[in-house]
Amino acid sequence: MKKQPSYLAVSVAISAAVAIGATLAASPAFAQSVDTARIEAGGQNDWLTYHGSYKSYHYSPLAQINTGNVANLSVAWIHIPGRSTRGLQSMPLVADGVLYYTGSYSRVFALNGATGEVIWSYFPEL
């Protein structure tokens, strides 16, 4: 029997993703187009593709979080996508201050990266 991750572990993972997204989101502006050149150039305040780049480094060059202050991190905001009987695992993307992620049942959310406010959401009929 495969052990399921604890509620605390899932909460910490989601909180960490949100904290990173909020850190990366410098402005609440709506995203502009994202093309191959923009992804390859990268942006200090954007996370435009899965794993951060086509090279899948899983690394951000930002220096705001370091060994001297990582213990002081706290949750800036939490987004609860609604009641669901399914788990949630998503790779958020950030472009121009907007955090995008998918939820269960193919739901899609665009959130203000600084405040967590929902900019738009899409709930397809399944």
Count CA atoms within 13 Å of residue 29 on its CB side.
9
**Rounded CA separation 15/91 (Å):** 13
Residue 91, token pair as written in the block: 């790779």
Count CA atoms within 13 Å of residue 66 on its CB side.
5
pLDDT at 82: 79
In terms of DSSP H, where are the helices of 1-126? 7-24, 36-41
pLDDT at 115: 96
pTM comes to 0.66
pLDDT at 97: 92
Answer yes or no: are the C-beta atoms of 95 and 45 closer than 8 Å. no
Phi and psi of 108, rounded to 5°?
A: -125, 140
Q: State the greatest distance between any 2 C-alpha atoms of the chain, in Å, as a whole number.
A: 47
pLDDT at 87: 75
Per-residue pLDDT of the chain (126 residues; tens, 9 = 90+): 555 555 555 454 555 455 555 544 444 444 468 888 887 777 777 888 888 877 777 777 778 889 999 999 999 999 888 777 777 778 899 999 999 999 888 899 999 999 999 999 999 987
